[in-house]
Structure 1
Amino acid sequence: MSPKNPATAVVTAVDHCLDLAATWIAWDGRPLITDGDNVWTPHKALRRIGDHLIDHLSEVEALLSGSPTIPDGWHGRSVTLDSDWARFTELDLSEARQRLPRLAQWYELRYAACGPDEWDRPRSPNWTLREIADHVTGVTWYADQVGNRFGEAPTSR
């Protein structure tokens, strides 16, 4: 039996995010503020989830090919874009259900293709692929900031 693909946890994390996103249609348009000064909306959470998945998938591909990674220039959670304030609709949820599982599957397939010998290979100063997959599962934090809009409060770090 082969070792468990560490990117399978990314798929599970995205599933958690989408479970919460299914409740965001009930969002009333008011900002959610966590950690004292972080403003969250459903669209901002989905944007950060997607950006995080893309950023680290690009890093994985660069590391596997021996290419330099693209430096991190994201503004991250420190900015809320005008588009983040849009109403969250059934179609927005449908689009997220199409986009995010494909990104998560890409991780799982890429990790399967490169194989277990690559997962823990040191890549100093970068993380190992296993460490990257573990880090990426943290995308749930973004979804947790918006939380379950049917009654559960957002969590804080």
Structure 2
Amino acid sequence: MSNPPQTDTRHPADVVTGMIDRVLELAATWPSWDGVPVPAGDRLYTPHKAIRRVTDRLIDHLAEIEARVAGVPTIPDAWHASATTTAADLAAFTAADLDEARSRLTRLAQVFDVRLRSLTAAQLDRRDEPAWSPRQIAFHLAESLYYAESVGDLAVRNA
């Protein structure tokens, strides 16, 4: 596992829900996407791919937190990650897609908020080497904003 992410005094629930709020702010501009994938490093991003990657990471790390809190082994993820751009990723991003993304991500935000706020400080900071603590996982999830920022604010880009 890579180096643990830096944490600060913010509650981990606020870190995750803040990231999701920002993803949805950016996504609100994506129905104007021109259909051309956006290069970011050695990858290409589209609105659908950004939503898929954020959602996959949220699900993966929620499963990890739940398993660790329950004291059971985690299931390794098998996501294709951002190296793969699917045909679905290349589809137009419509107002209906934005509505679906809002519904999905808003519900995941609530689940993270409820779960992380239910943990004591000791549970948030419990780390079973080499795994990260739930607090560290939450701060790591904030990095998922990268996918949405790769597509960016299309209202600004298209102005």
TM-score (norm 1): 0.90
Cα offset for 1:115? Answer: 2.1
Pick which of 5-14 and 20-29 moved more.
5-14
2: CA distance, partners of 1:152 / 1:16: 17
1: CA distance, partners of 2:157 / 2:62: 31
Q: 1:5 aligns with which of 4, 11, 22?
A: 11
Q: 1:104 aligns with which of 103, 109, 121?
A: 109
1:63-102 matches, cutoff 5 A: 63-102=68-107
Q: Deviations over 1:119-151 (max 9, x none)?
A: 111221210111000001111101001001123
Residue 33 of structure 2 aligns with which residue? Answer: 27
Q: Which amino acid aligns with 1:65?
A: A
Whether 1:47 aligns to 2:47 is no
Runs of 4+ in 1 over 3 A off after TM superposition: none
Pick which of 107-116 and 138-147 moved more.
107-116
Pick which of 93-102 and 111-120 moved more.
111-120
Q: Deviations over 1:55-114 (max 9, x none)?
A: 000000010011111113211000001111111100111111111011111111111222
SS in 2 for 1:7: helix
TM-score (norm 2): 0.89
Q: Which amino acid aligns with 2:55?
A: G
* Contact kept in structure 2, 1:17 and 1:140, CA below 8 Å: yes
Instruction: Name structure 1 gaps, 5 residues minimum.
Output: none
Cα offset for 1:4? Answer: 5.5
Residue 58 of structure 1 aligns with which residue? Answer: 63
Whether 1:123 aligns to 2:134 is no
RMSD of aligned alpha carbons: 1.5
Give me the identity figure in percent.
45
Q: Which amino acid aligns with 1:60?
A: I
* Contact kept in structure 2, 1:20 and 1:147, CA below 8 Å: yes
